[in-house]
Structure 1
Amino acid sequence: MTSLQSPPARRTGPGRSRSASDADLRRRLATTRPLVPTASIGGVIAAGAPLLVCMAVAVVGWFLTDAGGQGAPGDALRVGAHGWLMAHGSTVAVEGIRITAMPLGLTLLCAWVAWRVGHRVGESVSGHGPDADRIADGARDLTVPYAAGLFTVGYAVVGVLTASVAATASSAPAPARVVVWSALIGLAVGGPAIAFGSGRAAIWLPVLPVVVRDIALVARRILTRWALVCLLALLAALVLDFSTAANVVSQLHADGGAVVLMTALSLLLLPNALLFSSAYLLGPGFTVGTGTTVSTTTVVLGPLPMFPLLAALPDQGSQPWWTDWLMLTPLVLAALVAGQVQRERPILAWDRAAIRGCAGGIGAGVALALASGLAGGAVGPGRMQDVGPYTFDVLLHAITSFGIGGVLGALVVCWWQRDADGRVRVALRGLRARMPGRS
């Protein structure tokens, strides 16, 4: 709890009063730290902590691959910095090849660190501004906007400095894209974290209409459960073709250190792989090179790089008849989620229940399409400059499947609830009619 939400301490005696005063003083000191340095330094830490981890991992990988026989530690540090920059949208040239794909696993790690640090910043500045009662009465409170802005500036400064120091004539990172992504993480992740940490979110969220919160709940549950379905599909594909993945590792003649690095890289690319799996289950599919396609109906492949995750790709040619039925998965999942929310938060009005399920499904579809647009890009020379899901087709299929599924699930449960409510009312009327002394 923050000072914004904490009740005043009780005082039942001289000793208790002194103890309560000391505790209240410590709490006030902990929650009224100077806003400007606290928020700015928080942004620097949120950006710098993952950056240091990336550089440390790069140095460890350098020793694991050739025991430091080639290159210098500075080169390894630069590679780690480039990885951090790529997680923030920067394109990087490697041996003359421009890499534009983002390692979304690393991006999510940076966002998680920004959330944790932002939450601590919110707790540290929660004592600034008006208290909860004054905010509820309409007093203007700019503590969170000021802190979020300073947090974002600190984050972006680290990004610009990293791009400047790590840049070489051959790599040429893109500082402008780093600034944009730093602002997105700082405002879209750090800002809400500061609001929750400072206690302001607990005051502001109840002001939102209930229907908006319910729609957001439906969309969030659809996305989280869909991610789990995509993960299960990806793992099943890897298990069924595990021999291919093992063959890839053996052909690379990778030692223990290289296998560890390859595993770490696969984990960083796992969110990308989940979005590829999502595009496959939705129906449109994805491409793994110019002139290729992977979908539930047909698979056309070409020469592929030696990477274990690619073993999950289906065999080339026409697909079995049952793969077409996989496109019903998102519709069924959205129906189950919308029905579950309808059971937990019943709405007996047909139109309101349908709107909640449909809007939640469409919102989830739009969010999924935006994420799918970030999953691909250029990952190598030649054909490998075109890799990724078919984003626009994913958008159409996702909003259709999730939207229709949300409507059906909400309406079916709503009909069941209305029918049950009607049966209860009839039973109550019959019970009253049989009661003594009633006509």
Structure 2
Amino acid sequence: MLSKISGDDDETRRPLPVSGMLAAAATLGVGLAVLITLTLVGWIAAPRGALGTGLPGVFRTAAQIWLAAHHAGFSWPGGQLGLLPLGLMVLPSVLLYRAARWMARDADLRLRLPARLPKNSPKEQANARRRAQLVLVAQAGISLAAPYALLAGLIALVARNEITQPFIGEALLSHFVLAFLAGVLATARTIGSWRSMLRLLPERVRAVTVGTAVAVALLLVAGLLLVLVAVVVNFGQVRELTEGLAPGFVGGLLLLLVQGLYLLNAVIWGMSYIAGPGFAVGTGTLVAPTGVQLGYVPTLPLLGALPDSGPVPALMMAVIALPFAAGAAAGVVVVRIAPSPSYEAAPLWGFVTGVTTGLAAGLLAALSGGPIGGARLAAVGPSPWEVALSVCLEVGVAAGISAGLANWWLLYQGARGRGPIARKLNTARKAGAVIAKAASKVGLAESEGKALPGHWMDATEADTQPIPVIRDDWQDEHASAAAEALSPASGPQRPDAPRQPRRDIVDESDDRGGHVIYLDPYAWDRDD
């Protein structure tokens, strides 16, 4: 009966590639429908010809926005368009995640996952189960990403016109990467909670991953606060730029939407400012804690929050301490997840966390900037390699120091019987005691130690204790030994009489009779 039920399930279950293709097509359909609706509203409110001519132009513009949402650039006669709003990536990311969850349910990936292992299973079996889970998660990500990228290539061909030419290679790569990440996260989410997802990684890799996430999150939060403070301080200039554009009601809503989509770019620029290298708003410009040098900037009201050209107050140099604080927090997190038994390893892993944080910051810097045409606006945004190097050194040094100190404190607490390490050792000792008790009940081990046979001095004491010697003041205590030394015919001996030597003990050097008689040092203490 069970085999029949399982066979029916196999027949009704769709193959994973088929479920991935359906999920990819549904994501593209829903996303394009939303963007076509917004573009149509903008086409009605904007001047004629701004968003294309007729409904075909509206669809082509919506397709171009969809490609830009995946950070696929364009080329036009005046140069390239690479400064794309990162906020647009929220729409395809959410749709892909929900589609991947549906794909996991449709293909019954929960049933295909390896079964749970019982407690105290061998480590080899646990590692094999983890590898099998990772393989299935990767297969799910590829099943969604491959058809999604192919459909994106078709959209890139349709979105071409006489002015804008999408980069097909960037479109294929960006769609594949985003869909793969969404598919992997959604499939891993079917295993259990986020903590269970992280357990798919080895302990050390998991510690570095979480530490990197903590450091990047703190840097982004600091960048967001910096942007909000700049907007509040320069709000008058932002309002003047908005009034100069005179967008109207509908145009004002669209302008507000565009600035909201570029907010994440501005946050990453603020993170680059805090890291030290800063960012540029055109060739030959720089906005950094060391100074500001600006020229003409695009008429986007959000750019009105930029500071004026000239030296920066010395107080602004204090923001450079924020990456060190983020690194210190990341180092503590790394040690809390995976403490190191040696003092030298913890700082090394802390610095590795700084390196991965620098790479992540450099990637974000590369995504947040790009050219807007040619000439002066060919370089807009932070320099990826400068941001990566600065964050790597700042966060890495701080994380290494904090990780070393935190690891030393955990080891110190463990030596004193406190802290997580001590709790693990106490747990191991209790488990060992329980195992030993159970083994003693079945006869595999002795519950209590037994006394060694022989004299009152055991084997250990015989090697360390001196051999007793009969002395004159022990006459009453060892009267039996003295009585054996007396001759039976001599009668009782007076107490003050000289002591007679014992004749029943033969020196070992006496070899008369053809053999050696060894001295027994304990013979005096025997009663028989």
- Do these two structures clear the TM 0.5 threshold for a shared fold by scoring above it? yes
Query: Secondary structure at 1:304's aligned position in 2?
Result: coil
**2:285 pairs with one of 282, 292, 311:** 292
Q: Spell out, residue by residue over 1:33-64, the C-alpha distance to the aligned partner (whole angstroms, 9 max, x if none).
A: 34332111112223333332222211122223
Structure 2 counterpart of 1:73: 55
SS at match of 1:101: coil
What is the distance in 2 between the residues matched to 1:207 and 1:78? 42
RMSD: 3.4
Shift of 1:239: 0.7
- 2:363 is aligned, of 342, 348, 370, to 370
The yes-or-no answer on 1:92 pairing with 2:85 is no
Is 1:41 matched up with 2:22?
yes
**1:357, 1:410 within 8 Å by CA — same for their partners in 2?**
yes
Asked whether 1:121 is paired with 2:113, we answer: no
Partner in structure 2 of residue 352 of structure 1: 345
Tell me which of 292, 302, 316 is aligned to 1:309: 302
Letter in 1 for 2:93: A
Identity %: 27
Letter in 2 for 1:182: H
Structure 1 residue 229 corresponds to structure 2 residue 212: no
CA 1:346 to 1:35, structure 2 compared with 1: closer, same or farther past 3 Å?
closer
The one-letter code matched in structure 1 to 2:143 is L
Structure 2: gaps spanning 5 or more residues: 118-124, 423-528
Match of 1:106 in 2: 88
Distance in 1 of aligned mates of 2:251 and 2:347: 52
Displacement after TM superposition at 1:301 (Å) = 0.5
Distance of 1:240 and 1:416 partners within structure 2: 43
Distance 2:296 2:190 in 1: 50
Which amino acid is 2:86 matched to?
L
1:77-125, CA deviations, whole angstroms, 9 ceiling, x for partnerless residues? 3222111112334333467553122322212432332222212212222
- Greater CA deviation, 318-327 or 235-244? 318-327
SS at match of 1:319: coil
Larger Cα Rg: Structure 1 or Structure 2? 2
2:210 is the counterpart of 1:210: no
Whole-Å Cα distance in 2 between the matches of residues 199 and 332 of structure 1? 32
Query: Does residue 1:400 correspond to 2:393, yes or no?
Result: yes
Aligned-pair CA distance for 1:326: 1.5
In structure 2, give the amino acid aligned to 1:55.
I
- The higher relative CO (CA closer than 8 Å, separation ≥ 6) is in 1
Task: Report the secondary structure of 2:33's partner residue.
Answer: helix
Matches within 5 A, 1:167-178: 167-178=160-171
Q: Which residue pairs with 1:275 in the alignment?
A: 268
Equivalent position SS for 1:374: helix
Cα contact 1:118–1:197 (8 A) shared by 2:
no
Show the counterpart of 2:509.
none
What secondary structure is seen at the aligned counterpart in 2 of 1:318? coil
8 Å CA contact 1:48–1:158 kept in 2: the answer is no
Paired letter, 1:268: L
Q: Distance in 1 between matches of 2:12 and 2:353?
A: 37
Q: In structure 2, do the counterparts of structure 1 residues 201 and 31 end up closer, same or farther at CA, with 3 Å as the change threshold?
A: farther
User: What is the alpha-carbon distance in structure 2 between the residues aligned to residue 133 and residue 194 of structure 1?
Assistant: 17
Structure with more of its chain in helix, by fraction = 1
How much does 1:240 deviate? 0.7
After superposition, the Cα gap between the structure-2 partners of 1:203 and 1:293, relative to the gap in structure 1 and judged at 3 Å, is closer
Matched, 1:52 2:45: no
Q: What is the deviation of 1:226?
A: 1.5
* Structure 2 SS opposite 1:132: coil
Per the TM alignment, residue 339 of structure 1 is displaced from its structure 2 partner at its CA by 2.4
Distance in structure 1 (CA, Å) of the matches to 2:399 and 2:284: 35
The alignment partner of 1:299 has SS state of strand
Contact 2:215 2:329 in 1 (8 A): no
Number of residue pairs aligned between Structure 1 and Structure 2: 404
Within 2, Cα distance between the matches of 1:146 and 1:61?
A: 40
TM-score with structure 1 setting the length: 0.81
